[in-house]
Amino acid sequence: MKRILVTGGAGFIGHHFINYLLTRTDWHITSLDRLDFSGNLNRLTNIIDESNNRDKAKKRLKIVFHDLRAEINEYIANDLGDFNYIIHMAASSHVDRSIEDPMSFVLDNVVATCNILNYARNFKKLEKFVYFSTDEVFGPAPISINYKERDRYNSTNPYSATKAGGEELAVAFQNTYNMPVIVTHTMNVFGERQHPEKFIPMTIKNVRDNKLVSIHSNAKKTKAGSRHYIHAEDVANACLFLLKQEYASLKNEVDFGGAKCPKFNIVGPIELDNHELAQEIAKAQNKKLNYEFVDFHSARPGHDLRYALDGSLMKKLGWEPKKNIFERIKDVVNWSIKNENWI
């Protein structure tokens, strides 16, 4: 049986990935988390309770508490054991907090990444180490530009800079120690049990309560910011797809630009601006959208109007999101209204 370690397993994306593994594999899963601002053990409790075989799911999932700002000492290492796969999703990811306290993001996203890489580099059975990066390392995207995996970086805030730093460490460990590292970039993931500070759960709640929704826009307040939104289950599906790929067989099909470390963009099906998204959320609740455009882009440093990734490489390999994005939005709205404690 395969063994997989998911760092940040009690986080938003991490718990969706663990849930996907529980339903699609027979692997033994270990979640490594420190349970702070982002991590919430109730997420894992919920997915276990909702499992078709609760007792079996509990036996397959092990939870280990550790702060990756500190190295993994021999006691933690003995508790964890060896793994076939490591998915490094643990990170701090809030732009405003990174602007207020950049050093904490260096510790969480760079130092922590070095610690987990260093722990894993001597594994004899390690098949893949996935570093979970972000679209924000590329910076703002002009209209009609979608960044490919190996385009230049242009970090516009400490959060994205530290994610780029962690990514380069992962590449360095591939080059130096011949670790089987791959890198993914994704953008604006949404879904059930997301932290209520994020735009979608916040908008769901504000629409439900007939409150004003603030829409990130340009300086003239005429155009909303846009993203390629993607549901967390689609991200989980893409990650499992990549774990099962044999990259040696793809050399004639995929140009990695001479670099050893493969990189892949996991991209939502269509680009939506935040006004369109808010309208869909209101529509799902049969309510009118009360909104205002807010010029975050000029007033607050590090907030970019548009991010965009090119998803053609994953499509070439045979992967793309399975479900219509508008159905996904409606599902999340309905679930959130029924489970209001999460918003």
Handedness of CA 282, 13, 10, 240 (dihedral sign): positive
Phi and psi at 183, nearest 5°, equal -120, 135
Q: β-strands 85-88, 3-7: how paired? A: parallel
Q: Is 291 a catalytic residue?
A: no
Nearest residue to 165 via CA among 272, 74, 241, 91? 91
CB atoms within 10 A of CB 257: 9
How far CA 6 is from CA of 10, 14, 16, 284, in Å, comes to: 9, 7, 11, 33
**Cα 69 from Cα 57, distance rounded (Å):** 29
Paired tokens of 227: 């993203």
Phi-psi region of 318 (alpha: psi -120 to 50; beta: other; left: phi over 0): left
Q: 159, 229, 291, 307: which one is catalytic?
A: 159
**Cα 119 from Cα 122, distance rounded (Å):** 7
**Cα 325 from Cα 333, distance rounded (Å):** 12
Query: Quick one: DSSP state of residue 250?
Result: G
**Cα 87 from Cα 117, distance rounded (Å):** 11
Please name the helix (run of DSSP H) or strand (run of DSSP E) that holds residue 3, with its range, or none: strand 3-7
Paired tokens of 137: 């390392």
Positions marked active-site:
159
